[in-house]
Amino acid sequence: MGEFQKVIIYFYVIGVVRSVQQIPWLSCQFTDEHVSLNKEGHTETQLIHREAMVQFGQKGDAPVNPHAITFLITVSKLDLQRAIEGVEAEELECEVRRYSTKGIHVRWPALGAEGYNYWFTCILRHRKDQFIATAFLRHPSDQAPPGQQDYHSWPAIADREVLSTTVAMFLKSETPSAKVRLRSEPKLHCQFSIDHRGPNVTVEWHWQSRGERKKLFSYNSRSGESHGSGVGRKALAGGDASITLPFTKMSSEGSYICSVSVNPLFATMDLNLHIEEAPRVSLNVDPVWVVEEGTEHKVVCLAESYYPLDVEILWREQDPAASGQRVGAPLPQELKNILFSSHKHNQDQTYTLSAFFYLKASLKLSGKQFSCSVSHPSLRVPIKKSFILHVEEASSPMFYLAVSVVLISLLGVLIVMLLYLNSARKRSKKPY
Ligand SMILES: *[C@@H]1O[C@H](CO)[C@@H](O)[C@H](O)[C@H]1NC(C)=O
């Protein structure tokens, strides 16, 4: 095969792979704003939800849906399409909003962005929390910057308008909702890209929970100064602002906010961190447990050191014949007479709970399998512990007494017979 053909095949394969994985357009909600001054002179903002499309392509492309507003994202240095590669359009929630520069009028330092720009944010959220991304869309305008807050003079957007935009900056996190164990050192992902070289970028991390807020880290590319820890300086230069947290405690739960700003754009992402600790499950009896008929026992299933609180413990019993066979076996029965201890709060703020029942050993229970199953949000499948019960027939005191009486009487009879025999022999030896 010639080099040329190889190249052709290579590009063909790349083309097929790309067309399979990349999303050409997305159906979006555009949250428009109607800003007005009320009688008291206060600003009032009314949100209006409108149908829109985000379409990837070239300037001048025809809209895929001519009945909706189209935000046409033209090719730029930042490839948003690439950043969301590998997911299906149905898995994404998409929203476009107007973005106010809050009265700051500065030139965007990218090449070809000399004039005034209107800004939009496009927020893409994976429905199963695989990632969240925010893109800043730049829509060049031929108008002069308004001398006031931009939201007072939002240009109207018609129902079928096509707005040509380019991505100027985007932020992405693959850990929008992280579930981690206690005493782990989780890494929260935050990646940013900016469309020009050497941007004056400020990166910050904050933690927030129940009205409390703390700054964890800050960095500015121009001054080169950073405060706090957990973010690698080298990684930052490549747009990776991921933070590694110190050993997690219960109090580490909350929102972690990654913010990246390049004047006049200010982007934030809220990442949620939850602590999840799986229960340790144990029984107070052996896997094969032998008891005597008629005796009574407390059987305990203990779930220890879990978090959060919601745990479910079930006890089930199953017939001996059924446990071996796969098809047509009767289902295990849930035990009804289960009692629960109260939740115990451990020192590390995890919980412990036990579910127990009283078992009166009877012969008809012998061979049954009892199992305890514990479900918890940290577990994909419940933890199961089980034992097989063997009940032995009781040997009662009356039985022992009867046996002894019989033995003693037999012995008595033997002695009497021996004595009799002996005396008879003596008598027969007398010489008459
Ligand atoms: C960089 O941006 C920050 C705030 O966004 C600003 O205070 C600072 O003066 C800028 N630095 C330079 C060198 O432009």
The residues spanned by each domain of the chain are: 22-275, 280-392
**Quick one: average pLDDT of 366-393?**
94
Q: Tell whether the model's pLDDT for residue 27 goes beyond 90.
A: yes
Atom of ligand 1 nearest to the CA of 262: 5
Q: Which residues of 158-187 are buried (b: 16+ CB within 10 A; e: fewer)?
A: eeeebbbbbbbbbbbbbbbebebebeeebe
Question: What is the reported pLDDT for 17?
Answer: 47
Of 137-141, 185-189, 426-430, which gets the smallest average pLDDT? 426-430
Atom of ligand 1 nearest to the CA of 263: 5
Q: Tell whether the model's pLDDT for residue 12 goes beyond 60.
A: no
**Quick one: average pLDDT of 46-67?**
93
Question: What is the reported pLDDT for 13?
Answer: 46
Question: What is the reported pLDDT for 399?
Answer: 63
Question: How many Å lie between the centroid of ligand 1 and the Cα of residue 72?
Answer: 31
Could you tell me if 68 and 74 are in contact, meaning their C-beta atoms sit under 8 angstroms apart? no
Could you tell me if 242 and 174 are in contact, meaning their C-beta atoms sit under 8 angstroms apart? no
Of 7-16, 61-70, 211-220, 303-312, which gets the smallest average pLDDT? 7-16
Does the C-beta of 200 come closer than 6 Å to ligand 1? yes
Q: Tell whether the model's pLDDT for residue 268 goes beyond 70.
A: yes
Cβ partners under 8 Å of residue 374, min gap 6: 279, 281, 301, 303, 311, 312, 313, 382, 383, 384
Which of the two residues, 98 and 110, has the higher pLDDT score? Answer: 98
Question: What is the reported pLDDT for 382?
Answer: 97
Q: Tell whether the model's pLDDT for residue 14 goes beyond 50.
A: no
Of 33-37, 129-133, 402-406, which gets the smallest average pLDDT? 402-406
Does the C-beta of 104 come closer than 6 Å to ligand 1? no
Q: Please name the residue whose Cα sits nearest to atom 5 of ligand 1.
A: 263
Question: How many Å lie between the centroid of ligand 1 and the Cα of residue 215?
Answer: 19
Structure-token pair, residue 167 = 């991505």
Q: Please name the residue whose Cα sits nearest to atom 2 of ligand 1.
A: 200
Q: Please name the residue whose Cα sits nearest to atom 1 of ligand 1.
A: 200
Question: What is the reported pLDDT for 410?
Answer: 87
Q: Residue 135: what residue type?
A: A
Question: What is the reported pLDDT for 398?
Answer: 67
Residue 268's beta-bridge partner residues? 259
Q: Please name the residue whose Cα sits nearest to atom 3 of ligand 1.
A: 200
Structure-token pair, residue 278 = 């799986």
Residue whose C-alpha is closest to residue 110's, from 48, 165, 161: 165
Question: What is the reported pLDDT for 423?
Answer: 82
**Quick one: average pLDDT of 339-363?**
93
Test site for ligand 1: of 102, 221, 263, most ligand atoms within 8 A of the Cβ: 263
High-pLDDT (> 90) share of the chain, %: 66
Could you read off the pLDDT of 269-296 as tens digits, one per residue? 999 999 999 999 999 999 999 999 999 9
Q: Tell whether the model's pLDDT for residue 138 goes beyond 80.
A: yes
**Quick one: average pLDDT of 330-334?**
84
| The CATH number fitting domain 22-275, selected from 3.40.50.740, 2.60.40.10, 1.10.260.40, 3.40.50.970 | 2.60.40.10
CA distances 12 to 49, 83, 359, Å, are 41, 21, 70
Could you read off the pLDDT of 193-219 as tens digits, one per residue? 999 988 999 999 999 999 999 999 999
Question: What is the reported pLDDT for 421?
Answer: 84
Atom of ligand 1 nearest to the CA of 202: 5
Q: Which CATH superfamily does the domain covering 280-392 fall into?
A: Immunoglobulins (2.60.40.10)
**Alpha-helical regions (H) of 312-393:** 320-324
Question: How many Å lie between the centroid of ligand 1 and the Cα of residue 140?
Answer: 23
Atom of ligand 1 nearest to the CA of 222: 13
**Quick one: average pLDDT of 27-41?**
92
Distance from the Cα of residue 9 to its chain's centroid: 41
Test site for ligand 1: of 220, 259, 262, most ligand atoms within 8 A of the Cβ: 220
Q: What's the whole-number average pLDDT of the chain?
A: 89
Does the C-beta of 31 come closer than 6 Å to ligand 1? no
Q: What is the CA radius of gyration of the chain?
A: 39
Could you read off the pLDDT of 63-88 as tens digits, one per residue? 999 999 999 999 888 888 888 888 88
Does the C-beta of 202 come closer than 6 Å to ligand 1? yes
Residue whose C-alpha is closest to residue 97's, from 161, 166, 33: 33
Q: Tell whether the model's pLDDT for residue 20 goes beyond 70.
A: no
Asked whether the domain spanning 280-392 has the same topology as the one spanning 22-275, the reply is yes
**Quick one: average pLDDT of 233-241?**
94
Question: What is the reported pLDDT for 321?
Answer: 66
Which of the two residues, 372 and 420, has the higher pLDDT score? Answer: 372
Task: Tell me, letter by letter, the H, E, C secondary structure of 248-309.
Answer: CCHHHCEEEEEEEEECCEEEEEEEEEEECECCEEEECCCCEEEEECCCEEEEEEEEEEEECC
Which of the two residues, 319 and 338, has the higher pLDDT score? Answer: 338
